[in-house]
Amino acid sequence: MAAAAPDKAVERLSQKLVLPSSPTPSAPLRLSWLDRYPTQMALIESLHVFKPDPARDAAGQGLAPARAIETALARALVEYYPLAGRLSVSRDSGELQVDCCGGAGGHGGVWFIEAAVPCRLEDVDYLEYPLAISKDELLPHPRPRPTRDEEDKLILLVQVTTFACGGFVVGFRFSHAVADGPGAAQFMGAVGELARGGESITVAPSWGRDAVPDPAGAMVGALPEPAGASRLEYLAIDISADYINHFKSQFAAATGGARCSAFEVLIAKAWQSRTRAAAFDPSTPINLSFAMNARPLLLPRGGAGFYGNCYYIMRVASTAGRVATASVTDVVRMIREGKKRLPSEFARWAAGEMAGVDPYQITSDYRTLLVSDWTRLGFAEVDYGWGPPAHVVPLTNLDYIATCILVKPWAHKPGARLITQCVTPDRVTAFHDAMVDIN
């Protein structure tokens, strides 16, 4: 008789608003120009998968995951009190701001949901794609569901779902208007520090939004529209360290010993593989876009503690024929030349000298590939007392924008993982075959 299929139903055990554990300031806080940019008005979603710790569980050490994280969250919010607030529009300026109402008597707080699943993480393949449990069951969605207007004001929501094996998944929904990727990971790291028994947060958070430029007349482009865009297919590819080192060695040999990064190699290979798979006409103009951290350009000590948006989107432009026929080394060179332009181009934008150009505009134009590097954000190092996550799952709700995200490999195997949604379903096999070809 076949074994019964595991029960994968998620049971919601409780939901509450978590407030800072001590009194906090209540005055509203100004957001920067970049915080207020239209595409930031979204809750960025991700799942963080933690394996059980048999030694910890056997010893009965400490609190269960949900209690440990909830308690540490309340303590972390004392210093990160804006995250317990709500987005609002200033009556004076008409601009988006943070209403710091998270203290006692306020109307804020972080939505915190505790849930449980009667199966083991291995029964759902540790949430490898395709997800065996719907992402919306693992992400924090308060009940009754907030209206769109209410949800647009929320800054942070957290759900901890415990599995029968003792492992757990932390689901985050984080307002991009208040924190970028490094900022969100910084906060999660602070919660982890306190959950592991720390007396205080090592790196104090800094609001510091006045350091971010507010260029006179800076152009704000239109939001990306799905109209006419095709649905793009999800594909995750695990890349070995040998594969990365093969192309790094090629680059070093061609440049007299110069070094390049794994990010540069993998993005060059992905851009070229996608270009070949898409079968563009050789004369087609194509673009590669990627966010670069601007903290070192603006903030003292490289921006330690700053958690707001502080990045610039660099673009590398070429033709499909050039990218498709170049060596991977030459495509890496194109990317490196683009990265070198950051200080001068960002300075020009900050001085209001880029009339008619919006460098932050995201497009659904199929000729543009948007790439992100999650390996350096800090998500893979967050530890609530059970060790770092085995697996981090970025989630996207826009399947018509060509994207490629580089994440740490599963369980920290050497190498990397590419999570892509960048070609139409009929081109996925061609893209995959081009990616794995090292010749």
Q: Which residues are catalytic?
A: 176, 383
- How many CB atoms lie under 10 A from the CB of residue 403? 20
Beta 43-50 vs 391-394: how paired, if at all? Answer: antiparallel
Q: What is the DSSP code (8-state) at residue 113? A: E
Residue 267, burial from CB neighbour count under 10 angstroms (0-12, 13-18, 19+) = buried
Question: Helices 241-254 and 262-278 meet at what angle, rounded to 10?
Answer: 90
Which residue from 162, 160, 187 is spatially nearest to 75, judged by alpha carbons? 187
Q: How far, in Å, CA of 401 to CA of 362, rounded?
A: 8
Element (H, E) at 11: strand 11-18
Spatial strand order in the sheet of 391-394: 11-18, 110-117, 156-163, 168-175, 43-50, 391-394
Which residue from 297, 107, 90, 303 is spatially nearest to 207, judged by alpha carbons? 303
Which residue from 407, 411, 324, 384 is spatially nearest to 122, judged by alpha carbons? 411
Integer angstrom CA distances of residue 364 from 109, 180, 205, 228, 402: 35, 21, 35, 9, 7
Give the list of residues 6+ apart from residue 228 with CB closer than 8 angstroms, or none. none
In three-state secondary structure terms, 121 is helix
Which residue from 330, 317, 426, 433 is spatially nearest to 367, judged by alpha carbons? 317
- Phi and psi for 89 in degrees, rounded to 5? -105, 125
Element (H, E) at 115: strand 110-117
Q: How far, in Å, CA of 35 to CA of 40, rounded?
A: 6
Q: What is the DSSP code (8-state) at residue 166? A: S
Residue appearing with tokens 């997800």: 131
Amino acid at 160: V
